[in-house]
Amino acid sequence: MSDTRLFRSLRIYNYRVWTAGALVSNIGTWMQRVAQDWLVLTVLTDHNASAVGVTMALQFGPQLLLLPFTGYAADRFDRRRLIMLTQALLGLLALGLGLVTITGVVTLWQVYAFALGLGCVTAFDGPARQVFVNDLVGERYLANAVALNSTSFNSARMIGPAVAGVLIAAIGTGWVFLINAASFAAVLGSLFLLRTGELYTSLKPGRRAGGLLEGFRYVWRRPDLKAMMVMLFLIGTFGFNFPIYISTMSVSIFHGGADQYGVLTSALAVGSVGGSLMAARREQPKMRLLALSTLAFGISCALASIAPNVVVFAIMLTLAGFTALTFNTASNALMQLTTDPAMRGRVMALRMAVIMGGTPLGAPIIGWLADHAGPRWAMMVAAAAGVMAATVAARLLLQQRRRQPPQN
């Protein structure tokens, strides 16, 4: 008998504890993201979008460079202990960036260095956290838990930037970094409070030489996984560069300050929360949903690029957030549910590398385009990426329909 209750995963003690701690930490993380972009764009440079693009490239580049090791680590090692280590390191990096900023010695190269450090640690943290959801709830509630995780993450995305915008204006970016450092105590505390005997642990793969490349071979043999990876590459590389899109549109087109930037980022998150809550009611998403959501994402980005004022732009961002999160959550759940449990860590590492590691390829291009052609043209690239991703999904669906035997 199916269970479609919206918050069904929260019946599990371990998931409740984890979600509470993660929410606090995620709010701090989003506060830091806004503060970091604002520091680079308005304090360390003269509205240089390319510098923001370089910062994003350094922060997300390790997703690709460390790929052979991050997914294997998520499959091989105790994920709870691995996440404890990565979260502690992320907290220390936030502390360091906060200290150099409030003391007035921060430089652009230092921000680059901290962004690279954050990227290296997050490369190991991300796949482990993705697969850890299954350890908390098991396969029965996996799709619901993934959606609720997205709800938590995007609720933080809605709260964090708005709070960051106010705090940047009131006390400065350095203190925002320090607040984020303190927020990691919440997620570390939740990990200590988990009932380890109730975790749904899966078999660890053997230590054979082919383990690092097995994830690539596994995906290559699966047309559906390959199609989703291509879609994730298009959306992650050219569609999800919202820090550049929002900051440049806010400053250059709508002439706003840090508070407007924070509100616009929160508008994106409002749509994301709506998308994740809708996803939480589905037991298992389908490829058709991925096609429709990416097409709608492209359309909403196109409308945002031609918005005549900041209110219309905020509304279009809300729609973009809704469709982007629908695609992101559905692809996450579908990939985990259709992947062999022993391969999930490596497949999810590939997924994260593609969707987040593609950002270093797209961010400098998008930043350069925003500087030289204008932010509106830069956003049109996101629109084109959404339409292309929808085309990939439609092609796969057509191939699957042709392979189905005719019905009498």
User: Which tokens in the block code for residue 329?
Assistant: 């959550």
81-91 pLDDT, tens digit each: 999 999 999 99
- Asked whether the predicted pLDDT for residue 209 surpasses 50, the reply is no
Q: How confident is the model at residue 159 (pLDDT cuts 50, 70, 90)?
A: confident
Q: Is residue 82 part of a domain?
A: yes
Q: Is residue 250 part of a domain?
A: yes
Q: Is residue 326 part of a domain?
A: yes
- What total number of domains does the chain contain? 1
* pLDDT averaged over every residue in the chain: 85
Q: Is residue 204 part of a domain?
A: no
Chain centroid offset of residue 363 CA: 15
337-382 pLDDT, tens digit each: 888 877 887 888 788 778 766 776 788 888 889 888 889 999 999 9
Given its phi and psi angles, is residue 406 left (phi above 0), alpha (psi -120 to 50 degrees) or beta? beta
- Asked whether the predicted pLDDT for residue 23 surpasses 50, the reply is yes
Q: What distance in Å separates the CA atoms of residue 327 and residue 297, rounded to the nearest whole number?
A: 9
Q: Residue 1's pLDDT is what? A: 44
The domain in which residue 131 lies consists of 8-199+213-403
Q: What distance in Å separates the CA atoms of residue 336 and residue 334, rounded to the nearest whole number?
A: 6
Q: What distance in Å separates the CA atoms of residue 130 and residue 113, rounded to the nearest whole number?
A: 26
* R_g over Cα of the chain: 20
Q: Is residue 205 part of a domain?
A: no
Q: Is residue 33 part of a domain?
A: yes
User: Which tokens in the block code for residue 223?
Assistant: 């047309």
Cβ contacts of 330 within 8 Å, gap of 6 or more: 279, 282, 285, 289, 290, 293
- Compute CA distances 171 → 90, 157, 175, 224, 276, whole Å: 22, 20, 7, 49, 33
162-207 pLDDT, tens digit each: 788 889 989 989 999 999 999 999 999 999 999 988 888 765 554 4
User: Which tokens in the block code for residue 58?
Assistant: 């350094």
Q: Residue 195's pLDDT is what? A: 92
* Listed range (35-39, 212-216, 218-222, 311-315) with the worst mean pLDDT: 212-216
Q: Residue 176's pLDDT is what? A: 95
Q: Is residue 363 part of a domain?
A: yes
Q: What distance in Å separates the CA atoms of residue 303 and residue 364, rounded to the nearest whole number?
A: 23
325-341 pLDDT, tens digit each: 889 888 888 888 888 87
Given its phi and psi angles, is residue 374 left (phi above 0), alpha (psi -120 to 50 degrees) or beta? left
Average pLDDT over residues 123-147: 85
Please report, for the domain that includes residue 43, its CATH number. 1.20.1250.20
DSSP secondary structure, 195-245, as one string: -GGG----PPPP--TTHHHHHHHHHHT-HHHHHHHHHHHHIIIII--HHHH
Cβ contacts of 359 within 8 Å, gap of 6 or more: 56, 57, 60, 236, 237, 240, 241
- Residue whose C-alpha is closest to residue 334's, from 246, 222, 242: 222
- pTM assigned to the model: 0.71
Report the range out of 119-128, 142-151, 185-194, 263-272 with the highest average pLDDT.
185-194
Asked if 353 and 130 touch (Cβ cutoff 8 Å), the reply is no
Integer distance in angstroms from the first to the last C-alpha of the chain? 30
Q: Residue 201's pLDDT is what? A: 72
Q: What distance in Å separates the CA atoms of residue 239 and residue 390, rounded to the nearest whole number?
A: 13
Q: Is residue 3 part of a domain?
A: no
Average pLDDT over residues 298-310: 93
